[in-house]
Amino acid sequence: MPYLDEAVLDDPDELARRDSRETLRALATAGAQVREAATLSTEAGIDRVSYGERPRSVVVAALGGSAVVADVLEMLAEPSSPVPVTVRRNLPIPGWVGSLDLVIAVSLSGRAEGPVAVAREAARRGAALLTVGAEHSPLAEASRRARGVHIGVGHGRTSSRTSLWSLLTPVLMAGDILGLIDVPPSVLPDVAARLDEQAEACRPSSESFVNPAKLIALQAAETVPVVLGDGALAGVAARRAASMLAQTARIPATWGELPDAASQVVACFDGPFTAGGGAGASAARQADIFADPFLDAPAQPKLGLMMLRDAPVRPPTPESDAAESLTQAVLGTARAAGAHVIESVAGEGHPVARLAELMALTDFAATYLALGLGVDPAVSPHVADLRDRTSGQL
């Protein structure tokens, strides 16, 4: 079972020593990223996106740590966008993409093969292009050759996992300009302020008993985590959280979104990682405080349900009441089965601000979990080895 050293989480100097590339500091710049990206987007001519005309459709290409950009735009556009938004990670792009459509390609380095290939193919077909990534990169060059709009990401952005808002903000601005989503310029300062608040609450000098991200890390350390969102918005945050747990803390995690994922998550409560499941004698040993991990088999980790919840709908509607009943039923079943429940609820505000709050919290939590487990959140030898074996294709 993983061992998290709680003393490390309350020692800012030790956290800094283990955090070789200052991941915590980079996450804390999220609010500043929003402000900087808004300025860079305006200076680069974001208002010229799609030549000032609403496109017939939008295709978004992003992968890895940038993939959540596509997920967010798709989620926000789905309820009311007058044109379809499609997500692609790599080629091929849909055969119908042509001169009436907009392709958005996102890559922090500007070198990820999928988004670059999508941008080049879109340019070949005469589609409008919006690209977000490093200046002087293949992605930027593809955009400029096609007379598209390229938005740079500023200086000091070294990881897509910690530079999310440098990548996402220009896409949100473009979506609002084209009438795909409702994210007016007045919302961005509120989003930045919400991110600043999370950075303050989750700062390294804040002790574990009052730091929400450290509390989540402590609770998640000895679990097999399942991250569940209570709706579309929280579902995007859940997917991001599962990705951060895997890529940053090296903890395999699965995710889901209510209502669709209710049965598959609840089915896990009958398995070997809950007290009422099929663990048999192992479950009894886990509950025995006198069990000797050397003479007896070591205790198994418990199933951990990390429930990410959107702000309550006010005033309530029949649909929101039904969703709340389902969420409470899942939580009640989880607790009855002996799963460890971790619950986080977003504050009220614009959907992007609520999403920002949930994602920032779980980003910090995954990083603290990594540091407490003795893992460098920014460096993975196996990922580096895979890049070497695939000639840097990742």
pLDDT tens-digit map of 257-277: 999 999 999 999 988 888 755
Strand partners, 150: 131
What single DSSP character describes residue 158? -
Instruction: Report percent pLDDT > 70 for the chain.
Output: 92
Q: For residue 345, list its beta bridge partners.
A: 309
The pLDDT of residue 393 is: 55
**At 228, which helix (H) or strand (E)?**
strand 223-229
R_g of the chain computed on alpha carbons: 22
Distance CA 302, CA 316 (A): 35
Residues with Cβ < 8 Å from 172, sequence gap 6 or more?
Answer: 72, 73, 76, 181, 183, 188, 352
**Residues in contact with 212: Cβ distance below 8 Å, sequence separation at least 6, in sequence order:** 201, 202, 344, 361, 365
Q: What is the pLDDT of residue 15?
A: 96
pLDDT at 390: 76
The CA distance from 217 to 208, in Å, is 9
CATH topology agreement for domains 6-18+192-381 and 24-185: yes
Q: Quick one: tokens of 392?
A: 């840097």
Q: Are residues 330 and 303 in contact, defined by beta-carbon separation less than 8 angstroms?
A: no
- Residues in contact with 78: Cβ distance below 8 Å, sequence separation at least 6, in sequence order: 85, 232
End-to-end Cα separation, the chain, in angstroms = 30
Q: Is 121 left (phi over 0), alpha (psi -120 to 50) or beta?
A: alpha
Bond prior to 318 in cis (omega within 30° of 0) = no
- Residue 391 has a pLDDT of 65
Is CATH 3.20.20.80 what the domain over 6-18+192-381 is classified as, yes or no? no
Domain ranges of the chain: 6-18+192-381, 24-185
Residues 6+ away with beta carbon under 8 Å from 223: 301, 302, 303, 304, 340
Structural tokens at position 358:
């949930």
pLDDT in tens, 83-115: 999 999 899 999 999 999 999 999 999 999 999
Residue 380 tokens read as 């993975």
- Six-digit token pair at 96? 């119908």
pLDDT value at position 282? 45
Q: What angle, 0 to 180 degrees and rounded to 10, lies between the N-to-C axes of helices 351-372 and 212-220?
A: 60
Contact criterion met (CB below 8 Å) for 9 and 218: yes
pTM for this predicted structure: 0.92
Give the pLDDT means over successive 10-residue stretches in the chain (394 positions).
Answer: 86 95 96 97 96 94 94 96 94 95 97 95 97 96 96 90 97 97 97 98 96 96 94 97 96 95 92 66 50 59 94 95 96 94 97 98 98 92 78 56
Distance CA 384, CA 394 (A): 10
CB of 302 within 8 A of CB of 265?
no
Task: State the pLDDT at residue 218.
Answer: 95
Give phi and psi for 106, each to the nearest 5.
Answer: -125, 130
CB 253 within 8 A of CB 242: yes
- The superfamily CATH assigns to domain 24-185 is Glucose-6-phosphate isomerase like protein; domain 1 (3.40.50.10490)
Q: Which two tokens stand for residue 195?
A: 């991110």
Complete DSSP assignment for 326-345: HHHHHHHHHHHHTPEEEEEE
Query: Can you tell me whether residue 223 is helix, strand or coil?
Result: strand
Cα–Cα distance for residue pair 170/108, rounded to 1 Å: 13
